[in-house]
A = this chain, B = another copy of it.
């Protein structure tokens, strides 16, 4: 029996979430070399020095590991967006920065590693749970900025908030979804400024 399994069984040693993190870190490394699609859980377990049964103790499938990696990537993108709007008071400026940061971070993190991009692709195509949650959080952030702008009189209030939010989200969506983003790389320099300016004109009272 592997030392770590023995420790877990005995109730000592690293907590389950630490082992999960360890497996995810090793799997990220492995997938980035050999690709996500072609790797099986057996390959992965072997390569990272765990038994297949041990990996299955913590993850029910390869997709479950992929979902953690995908979630980590999306969390990094969200962190960068967060950082970009932090301390900004003006809703218009917040929106501009949100467009810029989300497009730039998506491009960098989805495409930094061609092999890991396979995970982003599967996640987006199969609508994995972390993707749905991420999209909902981004939509909420947009709605919050719109509400703020309405409250302080910077943005118009005639359009129903839901409608305005959905429309702005649709404008940004092609740059958040990696499957679509790959076909917009030639516009990536100009798109955030052009689109956020258009959106801000649409929000003027």
For chain A residues 146-170, which have a beta carbon within 8 Å of chain B?
A: 156, 159, 163-164, 166-168, 170
Once the chains bind, are A170 and B199 in contact (CB under 8 Å)? Answer: no
Q: Let me know if B180 and A195 touch, CB within 8 A.
A: no
Quick check: is A194 within 8 A (CB to CB) of the other chain? yes
Docked-complex contact B194 and A163, CB < 8 angstroms: yes
Chain B residue at minimal CB-CB distance from A201 = B202
A164 / chain B contacts, CB cutoff of 8 Å: 198
Size band of the interface chain A makes with B:
20 to 34
Tell me whether B179 and A195 are in contact (CB under 8 A).
Answer: no
User: Roughly how many angstroms separate A156 CA and B183 CA in the complex, as a whole number?
Assistant: 31
- On whether the beta carbons of B197 and A199 are closer than 8 Å, the reply is no
Chain B residues whose CB sits within 8 angstroms of the CB of A168 once the complex forms: 198
Q: Is A35 an interface residue (CB 8 A)?
A: no
Q: Which residue of B lies closest to A125 (CB)?
A: B183
Q: Report Cα–Cα, A198/B203, bound state, in Å.
A: 9
Q: A159 to B195, Cβ gap below 8 A?
A: no
Q: A201-B201, A201-B202 are in contact. List 10 more A-B contacts (CB 8 A).
A: A163-B197, A170-B187, A171-B195, A171-B198, A173-B184, A174-B180, A174-B184, A179-B183, A180-B180, A199-B202
Those 10 A-B pairs whose CB atoms lie nearest each other, nearest first: A202-B202, A201-B202, A167-B198, A174-B174, A167-B194, A198-B202, A180-B180, A179-B183, A180-B183, A171-B171
Chain B residues whose C-beta falls within 8 Å of the C-beta of A197 in the assembled complex: 159, 163, 167
A187 to chain B, nearest CB (A): 6
